[in-house]
Amino acid sequence: MSIAAPSNPKEITLRGIILGILITLIFTAAQVYLGLKVGLTFATSIPAAVISMALLSAFKDATIQENNIVQTIASAAGTLASVIFVLPGLLMIGWWAHVPFWPTFGACAIGGVLGVMYTVPLRRALVSQSNLPYPEGVAAAEVLKVGMASREGAKEGKAGLRAVIWGALTSALFAAGAAAKLLAAEVSIYFRTGAGATGIGA
């Protein structure tokens, strides 16, 4: 599937940068919480592409290149969240006695900016001319192509955004109820097996 691009498509725009930063802030917070809670993180490019298409579809001059920049900026959230694995190591080896805010913020900001900037010169060598496909990047590109190709794609993007919003609200309400002791955050069942006992928790 090919997308007919205008002669001078809008790529890096102020609204795209602002939207990318907002998505990055939300996804980074979610990644850090999830990583500390269960020890794993999630891919950010695909949901960022869906959210970007749904929001930028309100503008008639939105382009696939602009949506691609937004999801590229938001993809830094997955990398920035890796500080939860690095910073505790610095504390454990005694390099830091505490976590300084500004050096941590500066390292994360510089790393995110460099990652986005280096995608431009390295895209041809590592993506276009590489025999090793990147599943997440390919999937995000296909999502953008389908979403920008037709009105049905735009409707699917808005439906995806609604699903993300409802999922976030449901999770927030459940977390608030568990924190207020109105709901059980975990469910555990214990039963005897011979001379011992076994438990299952979720």
State pLDDT tens for residues 105-134.
Answer: 888 788 778 877 887 787 777 766 766 666
Cα first-last separation, the chain: 43
Kindly list the domain boundaries of the chain, sorted by start residue: 12-97+133-163, 100-132
List phi, psi (to 5°) of 130. -95, 140
List 188's β-bridge partners, or say none.
201
- Residues of the chain whose pLDDT is less than 70? 1-7, 127-128, 130-134, 150-154, 157, 201-202
- What is the predicted pLDDT for the residue at 1? 46
pLDDT value of position 150? 63
The per-residue pLDDT for 172 is 84
What's the number of CA atoms in the CB half-sphere (13 Å) around residue 68? 18
The confidence score (pLDDT) of residue 187 equals 76
Residue type, 9: P
| pLDDT attached to residue 132 | 62
Q: Is the pTM of this model over 0.85?
A: no
